[in-house]
Structure 1
Amino acid sequence: MADTLTKLTYQTFQQSKNYFGLAHKILSTRVMSLVSPSDRKSKPLPLDLLQKINQRYERLLEVDWQDAEAGVYPHNILFDNPWDEFFLYYPAVWFDLPQIWERAKQKNYQDFDSNLDIAGYPSYYLQNFHHQTGGYLSDLSANLYDLQVEILFGGSADAMRRRILASLKQGLSDFDDVPASQIKILDIACGTGRTLKMIRAALPKAALFGTDLSPAYLRKANQMLSQIPGELPQLLQANAEELPYMDNYFHATTSVFLFHELPAVARQRVIEEAFRVTKPGGRFIICDSIQMSDSPEMEPAMTGFYETFHEPYYRHYMTDDLVERLEKAGFENVTAEVQYMSKVLVACKPV
């Protein structure tokens, strides 16, 4: 397929997603100002910061293309966007907006329908993250999540997720004596299964596992992954603070867009659990939001994020030392690299 594709085609594809997200943001903001006027005016980001953000975006696309060219993953994954689902559920995004605006206006952060069973979940999880209806426990949320995240990040969410794949494959090379079909990888807080789907494209034979707290999101992940020929999703509902696996079971563990939605104590427990279930010599790879330590110039964007959306633990996350947390759990040789509005941390479990 690479012979028939060009870098320009890929860039055009990404820009189409970017323009779609931008158009939605502009239109929804204008509609909100008419339907639910607010005295609070959000400050536009400075021009020089917008230019830096755009430069980071261009660099992300360049790295994404280069990894495909290098064979880290096939070129066709660059164009794997569920347009049919996006257009199917896009009207639901608009129908849900009035409830989101009202919830944000009233600062109603624990608003769950009576038909949702919220018993047994940790208190920090029972939040209307992003003011969305049903938190992470409804099928509506699971169906809208990937679309909403792509809108939020201007079509770059998948490209940021893929930044874990090169380090993942590199780390697994240390287990070259293990047959490919016996390599076991766990994605913690797998959500809708997007990350697992990308790992499958990069590692066609590995045994993939996923855990998540939300049964609705696990249903969505099962639906998505079951569409892959021969795929049998191994998904479990589980709290990442208490993973239901034996010690030293996985050759690698991953987690994408989880840690900024955890309070500090839970962050440390999840890291310790990742250390426990990862084999000696294996890697734990995190992809999450940028932080002040690596991107101080992005502070206005980060502050605007947690002020605009309901992200109750993001403010602490901004200044949290994840490297220190990983080393405290026992990991070593921890590296961190910024990619657009995300960063990737790679931590190795000592042999």
Structure 2
Amino acid sequence: MSTTSLHSHSRLVPRMAYAASQSARVAWYLGQYMLAARLGARITGRDRVRHPTDKPVPDTRAILEELRALLARDLANIEAGWYRLPHDLVPDPRRVLADAAAFFRDVPLVSRRRRDHVATEVRANPPPGSESLPAYYRQNFHYQTGGYLTEESARLYDHQVEVLFGGGADAMRRQALVPIAQHLRGRRSADSRLLDVATGTGRFLTFVKDNHPRLPVTALDLSPAYLREARRNLAPWARNAALVQGAAEAIPLAEGTQDIVTCIYLFHELPPKIRAQAAREMARVLKPGGILVFMDSLQYGDNPAMDGLLDIFPQAFHEPFYAHYARDDLEALFAAAGLRPRERSLAFMSKLLVLEKPA
């Protein structure tokens, strides 16, 4: 076999593995989305799941085309060496089935909250230890059981998000690995520091650590339950992965200590004033020359074909601050905090910003 043939073969095998796994992933999660929508409609009433919008709403075919483009970009990044194939390309089938069963047990509860517009159960009946958390946080975001405050919610969250995005959530998150790899190029990762703000279950950090195992990371989150789930997920890298309970608007770290700050899907769930405070805090803890890698939902005008979905989303899923976020001037917000934009791009339903603290 020639050198060219060997090279082609070495690329073909991971490409086939990626294509097979991601095709199965999309079919699995998209199928659950469609079934959950059907089951939920029996409770909410079909007339109540049609939300008004005067903006374009993409059909399933258009959404799948956007998802295919995301997966093609994900594979291209892997082949370019920006990050590895996902560490759980073939997930544990027992966990996959258990999570699906738990998800469908929760669908009726979520649907009843949606029907009855009940979104503050966790404030009325706070789980132990959550009473002192900020009021804006003590809500049943997405109408999910337990909000962000229970072990059951933390266990189920990543599965729920994958169902919502038809199996594309991890691929969207992985786009944030590219600017991290670019920033670390030529640096010793062991001498750098990364802070993940609102880490949730630590899912994104598992991708970071899988690619940069010697990079010290700090996982910050308000929820003790989600931090416990993050501890389990980050157990293989526990030696240089710290977990800290704290708020994005009051980060309990010293000024100028972080080379990279990441913030994935937080800002659309923050009130406007808290959003501005969080931006200032992330800028404060960055070193001069450090970067903020920010990913969140699309905003109006980013992809006009998707604008109708931005109308529907906060109505269908309890998101009290989303409508303001979708119109917020993020670059002006970060500029006021002392950060300047370096890159911007779209990835399916998300936007990625890379901002720098001037040296």
Q: TM-score, normalised by structure 1?
A: 0.92
The answer to whether 1:332 aligns with 2:344 is no
Q: Alignment partner for residue 183 of structure 1, among 180, 184, 192?
A: 192
Shift of 1:32: 2.8
- 1:52-77 CA distance string (max 9 Å, x none): 43332122111111111111112243
Residues paired across the two proteins, number: 347
Shift of 1:11: 2.3
Q: Summarize the alignment of residues 11-160 of structure 1 with structure 2, pairs less than 5 Å apart.
A: 11-42=19-50, 49-77=59-87, 79=89, 81=91, 83-112=93-122, 113-160=125-172
What is the alpha-carbon distance in structure 1 between the residues aligned to residue 334 and residue 357 of structure 2? 10
Shift of 1:275: 0.4
Query: Is the deviation greater in 67-76 or in 202-211?
Result: 67-76
- What SS does structure 1 have at the residue aligned with 2:48? coil
CA change 1:152–1:267 in 2 (3 A) is same
CA change 1:99–1:116 in 2 (3 A) is farther
Query: Is the deviation greater in 250-259 or in 9-18?
Result: 9-18
CA change 1:238–1:13 in 2 (3 A) is same
1:165 corresponds in structure 2 to: 177
The answer to whether 1:316 aligns with 2:324 is yes
Conserved 8 A contact 1:209-1:234: yes
Q: Alignment partner for residue 225 of structure 1, among 212, 215, 234?
A: 234
Letter aligned with residue 234 of structure 1: A
What is the alpha-carbon distance in structure 1 between the residues aligned to residue 221 and residue 57 of structure 2? 39
- What SS does structure 2 have at the residue aligned with 1:55? helix
Shift of 1:4: 6.8
What is the alpha-carbon distance in structure 2 between the residues aligned to residue 71 and residue 199 of structure 1? 14
Conserved 8 A contact 1:49-1:297: no
Unaligned stretches of 5+ residues in structure 2: 1-8
The answer to whether 1:251 aligns with 2:250 is no
Report sequence identity in percent.
35
Q: Alignment partner for residue 241 of structure 1, among 226, 249, 254?
A: 249
Q: Summarize the alignment of residues 252-267 of structure 1 with structure 2, pairs less than 5 Å apart.
A: 252-267=260-275
Query: Is the deviation greater in 135-144 or in 330-339?
Result: 330-339
Conserved 8 A contact 1:131-1:309: yes
Conserved 8 A contact 2:136-2:270: yes
What is the alpha-carbon distance in structure 1 between the residues aligned to residue 243 and residue 312 of structure 2? 35
What is the alpha-carbon distance in structure 1 between the residues aligned to residue 291 and residue 321 of structure 2? 26
Query: Is the deviation greater in 232-241 or in 21-30?
Result: 21-30
Q: TM-score, normalised by structure 2?
A: 0.90
What is the alpha-carbon distance in structure 2 between the residues aligned to residue 229 and residue 111 of structure 1? 35
Query: Is the deviation greater in 9-18 or in 239-248?
Result: 9-18
Shift of 1:82: 5.4
Shift of 1:36: 4.8
Letter aligned with residue 98 of structure 1: P
Shift of 1:13: 1.5
- 1:267-293 CA distance string (max 9 Å, x none): 111111110001101100111111113
Letter aligned with residue 142 of structure 2: H
Letter aligned with residue 30 of structure 2: L
CA change 1:30–1:142 in 2 (3 A) is same
Shift of 1:3: 5.3
Shift of 1:15: 2.0
CA change 1:257–1:231 in 2 (3 A) is same
Shift of 1:230: 6.1
- What SS does structure 2 have at the residue aligned with 1:79? coil
Aligned residues: CA RMSD: 2.3
What is the alpha-carbon distance in structure 2 between the residues aligned to residue 80 and residue 160 of structure 1? 18
Conserved 8 A contact 1:323-1:334: no
Query: Is the deviation greater in 134-143 or in 73-82?
Result: 73-82
CA change 1:280–1:72 in 2 (3 A) is same
2:3 corresponds in structure 1 to: none
Letter aligned with residue 152 of structure 1: L
- 1:311-350 CA distance string (max 9 Å, x none): 1111111111111111111111343211111110000110
CA change 1:284–1:80 in 2 (3 A) is farther
- What SS does structure 2 have at the residue aligned with 1:186? strand
Shift of 1:80: 6.0
Unaligned stretches of 5+ residues in structure 1: none
- 1:205-231 CA distance string (max 9 Å, x none): 1111110000000000001110x2664
What is the alpha-carbon distance in structure 2 between the residues aligned to residue 130 and residue 49 of structure 1? 22
What is the alpha-carbon distance in structure 1 between the residues aligned to residue 126 and residue 266 of structure 2? 26
What is the alpha-carbon distance in structure 1 between the residues aligned to residue 100 and residue 60 of structure 2? 27
CA change 1:111–1:275 in 2 (3 A) is same
Letter aligned with residue 54 of structure 1: L
